[in-house]
Chain A
Amino acid sequence: MRNRLGLGTIAARDPADREPPTDPSRPRSPRPVKAQEWECETEDKVTGLIDVASGSAAQRKQLERVVEEYRGLPGPLIQVLHKVQGVYGYLPSDVLRFVASELELPLCDVRGVATFYNFFRLDPAGKHTVSVCLGTACYVKGGAEILKRIQRELGVEEGRTTPDGLFTLDTARCFGACGLAPVMMVDEEVYGRLSPTKAMRILNSYREGTKPSAA
């Protein structure tokens, strides 16, 4: 055997090194975990049937139709997620569980695909979509600093929505406004020649309900 430890077989292990027995009086799952500390909004429960609480009954029907359409086809996950996002506007985690169980795919793979592609979102879109440009010109002029500051102050990662539902944070590669670099867009409005502070000032006025004039 080529591994460095060369301890040989499992039987050769020191008994003191064994795992402690699990206490059967303590159920293994689910344990209380503060949901907001985690990336996933709903706490997973061990249940036989997957309950989809998100959305309306009509959306639920459409979801079932999408899954039926792709059942048994090879590599259906991306298409299914695409269509399902069309139904809900985002990918709620109970819907992801439903998709995983119906298509017989591991949960981690579904989550992996849903987070790999920029297109998929895991939160409903916020009231305003903030899109920070990381195209070449904006990047050189400090676009990444602006993004970092916004991430820190809003407390959200790229692609996610603030808990109050006000802002969804996105990035983009060039709006064709390089002359104004660094640039961000809030909904349809372009703001240029930004600094991190200026960007935050703009977002704060959106929060107060006023829309600052574009650059």
Chain B
Amino acid sequence: MDKLRVKIDGRTILAAPGKTILEVAEENGIHIPTLCHLDGLRDVGACRLCIVDLYGQLVTSCTTKVADGMEIGTQTETVRAYRRTILELLFAEGNHVCSFCVSNGGCELQDLACELGMHSVRVPYTYRRERVDATHPRFLIDRDRCVLCGRCVRVCQEVEGAHTWGFAERGATVRVITDLAVPWGTAESCTSCGKCVEVCPTGAIARKGASNAEMRKHPDLVAELTERRARG
């Protein structure tokens, strides 16, 4: 198949058609920050943090395919400013008090804040009040820490096939639910496999009884699983 010629951060790169900008960048050792993307799951472009500059247009690199002659900037002033604002909005939307969070030190949202140099949030916090659901015997969800990345929804649907997690409502009141928005512990479709725990990038879904030091997640197990399944 004919390779496409793209330019990323000034570097000319030959890319296979059908790949996303993010894939091509990663194959070539160029890092783009991401949050909702996870190897092994379908990309949905939920978080917008992986935006790149097409010089005239900003697009999410996890859902945009490379095209011949594309010029891509992954670290321009513009994208950096936008990424930071998006991240601040994510923080302001939830109640992310890291020092009280079970995932403190093992949180992808926190890592992004460090990586993007976010030292303050310039928009007012919304202090929304969300439901904590600790009815499951082994796991719990604190929706205050949910960034609506949809990883739990996708892993439960695409990898586990249980379809327990879904989104309900819309706009500012969107949240993740289990089954008919019943307590997780009574959700009949949940197999208690724990995949949603491993992929949740924040402290929203966590193991019960785990201390902060124990609460380390393994989101890369999804890529591992899907690769092994493909191999049969």
Report the separation of the CA atoms of residues A46 and B180 in the bound assembly, to the nearest whole angstrom: 13
Tell me the minimal C-beta distance from A81 to chain B in angstroms: 13
Chain A residues whose CB sits within 8 angstroms of the CB of B212 once the complex forms: none
Majority DSSP secondary structure for residues of B touching A: loop
Q: Are B178 and A19 in contact (CB under 8 A)?
A: no
Does B142 touch A at the CB level, under 8 Å?
Answer: no
Mask: chain B, 190-213; 1 = CB below 8 Å from A; 0 = not: 001010000000000001010000
Q: Is the CB of B180 within 8 A of A96?
A: yes
A1-36 interface with B by 8 A CB criterion: 1-10, 13, 16-17, 19-20, 22, 26, 28-31, 33
> 8 Å CB contacts to A: which residues of B55-114?
106, 108, 111
DSSP majority for the A interface?
Answer: loop
Contact partner of B220 (CB less than 8 A), chosen from A7, A22, A43, A97, is A7
Scoring A6, A16, A26, A40 by chain B CB atoms within 10 A of each residue's CB, the highest score goes to A40
Interface window among A106-114, A171-179, A197-205: A106-114
The CA of A38 and the CA of B170, in the complex, are separated in Å by: 18
A1-B223, A7-B216 as given contacts; A108 in contact with B180, CB under 8 Å: yes
B177 close to chain A: CB less than 8 A: yes
Contact in complex: B218, A7 (CB < 8 Å): yes
- Contact status of A43 and B177, CB under 8 A, knowing A108-B164, A108-B165: no
Residue of A nearest to B171 (CB): A116
Q: Which residues of B contact A43 (CB under 8 A)?
A: 182, 186
Q: Given the complex of chains A and B, what is the CA–CA distance between A133 and B108 in angstroms? A: 41
The answer on a CB contact under 8 Å between B220 and A3 is yes
Contact: A4 with B111, CB < 8 Å? yes
A39 part of interface (Cβ distance < 8 Å) = yes
Distance to closest chain B CB from A122 (angstroms): 9
**Contact indicator per residue, chain A 36-53, by CB within 8 Å of chain B (1) or not (0):** 001110011110000000
Q: Which of B26, B180, B185 has its CB near the most chain A CB atoms (within 10 A)? A: B180
Q: Interface extent on A, as a size class?
A: 35 or more
With both chains docked as a complex, state the minimum distance between the C-beta of B116 and any C-beta of chain A, in angstroms: 14
Tell me if A131 counts as interface (CB < 8 A to partner B): no
Is the CB of A93 closer than 8 A to any CB of chain B?
yes
A5 touches B186 (CB 8 A): no
> Is A31 in contact with B186, judged by CB distance below 8 angstroms?
yes
Chain B residues within 8 Å of A10, by CB: 218, 221, 224
Q: Is A115 an interface residue (CB 8 A)?
A: yes
- Given known contacts A106-B163, A108-B163, is B39 in contact with A3 (CB within 8 Å)? yes
Give the residue name and chain of the A residue nearest to B39 (CB): A2
Q: Which residues from chain A contact B220 at a C-beta distance below 8 Å? A: 1, 3, 5-8
- Decide yes or no: A31 and B185 within 8 Å by CB, A10-B221, A106-B157, A109-B166 being known contacts: yes
Is A44 a contact partner of B186 (Cβ separation < 8 A)? yes
The answer to whether residues A5 and B218 also contact, given A38-B183, A107-B189 and a CB cut-off of 8 A, is yes
What is the CA–CA distance of A30 and B185 in the complex, to the nearest angstrom? 7
CB neighbours of A31 from chain B (8 A): 135, 183, 185-186
How far is it, in angstroms, between the C-alpha of A30 and the C-alpha of B137 when the chains are bound? 11
Please name all residues of chain B whose beta carbon is closer than 8 Å to the beta carbon of A107 when the two chains form the complex: 163, 166, 179-180, 187-189
Residue contacts A-B, CB under 8 angstroms, 29 given:
A1-B39, A1-B220, A2-B26, A2-B39, A5-B216, A5-B219, A6-B220, A10-B224, A17-B216, A20-B209, A28-B192, A29-B185, A31-B183, A33-B186, A40-B182, A44-B179, A44-B182, A44-B187, A44-B188, A93-B180, A100-B180, A106-B163, A107-B166, A108-B153, A108-B163, A109-B163, A110-B180, A112-B166, A115-B170
Given contacts A3-B219, A112-B167, A115-B181, 12 further A-B contacts (CB under 8 A): A3-B220, A7-B218, A19-B194, A29-B187, A31-B185, A33-B135, A38-B181, A44-B180, A108-B164, A109-B166, A111-B168, A116-B169
B interface residues (Cβ-Cβ under 8 A, vs A): 26, 38-39, 106, 108, 111, 135, 137-138, 153, 157, 163-170, 173, 177-183, 185-189, 192, 194, 207, 209, 214, 216-221, 223-224
